[in-house]
Amino acid sequence: MDEAAVFFWEYGCLFWTMVCSADLLWLAKAVLKADADMGKEKPMLLQKKEYFKQEYQSFQDYSLHVERVTVNQDFMEHTHEFDEIVIVVSGSGEHLVEQQVYSLSRGDVFVIKGDVKHGFRNNSNLQIINLMYDPRMLFGENEELRFVEGFDYMFIIQPEWLPHLAYPYRVTMGEETVRVVELLTDFLIEQLRDAKGQYYVAVKYGFKALISYIANNYRTEQHLSDRMKILASAIQYIRSNLNTSIKVTDIAKSVTISPRQLERVFAEECGMSPIEYLTELRLKHARTLLMNTERPISAVAEEAGFEDPSYFARVYKKRFNLSPSQARKQN
């Protein structure tokens, strides 16, 4: 074999070695990625139809399920089509809420919005009360609950503003409060078990009494200033008008302050404007719809409050580094 042939032979072998090595490296990376993806369980979505009695769904503000459960095994992370209150009665375990871990003890209370991912692990005879409800039961025709001391903090400020204000997901009730909550819960469970049409009023007002008692008696170091009460009211207005066209002037009018004052409250308390907060809520709602439904992307955009699908696609990609269609495929 002459020198030229030897040269091409040696370098040909080297070239194919490099190609094969690259292929093997790509394959190895693909396998590792697949293994990693297999380890990431998609959060399951708990649906209303699994928990809420069909006959109650004709009452728009009356979708409710209450239960006592004992948990000894891990319960995988999940989201809901409804909101949930978790009350720890006894036992021990850990509650995972959006990558934060809480060691559990009697009297702990968690308010979990539907799009918040949570689960339980390392449980030992963990007994909890679950109140699963359509948020309209709190924020629909039941505006009188807003006058209960502690309600705004517990059900608006605390679950909404954790990422910005460092409030904990967990609040804690004293022993006497827990005992009364258990009695009220048992009453609700009994009424729900036997309820027919004429009993729905008892269940509805029993739930309101339970919510009022919890909000009025939980133990916390936080006290809402007038500024935070304004913020809570503004947040509620925004949530209630998520898929309608609203402006800063509309939000400000709902809390009886000027638009400039409202902008200042949002900027100082959470580092964003009211419209930025509204957009963030809409994007998170859209992400939940993309992950858990098969609705067309244009329908998702409309339901989340975006009138222009093209604009929705742009802001969604800017926020999550994925287009809506890519997010759905990835899921």
Give pLDDT, residue 111: 86
Instruction: Please compute the mean of the pLDDT values over residues 315-323 and round it to a whole number.
Output: 92
Segment 24-53, tens digit of pLDDT: 333 333 333 333 333 345 566 666 556 555
Specify the pTM. 0.60
* Greatest CA separation for the chain: 101
End-to-end CA distance of the chain: 57
Segment 197-245, tens digit of pLDDT: 556 677 778 888 888 888 877 644 445 567 777 887 888 788 888 888 9
Dihedral sign (CA 207, 208, 209, 210): positive
pLDDT confidence bin for 22, thresholds 50/70/90: very low
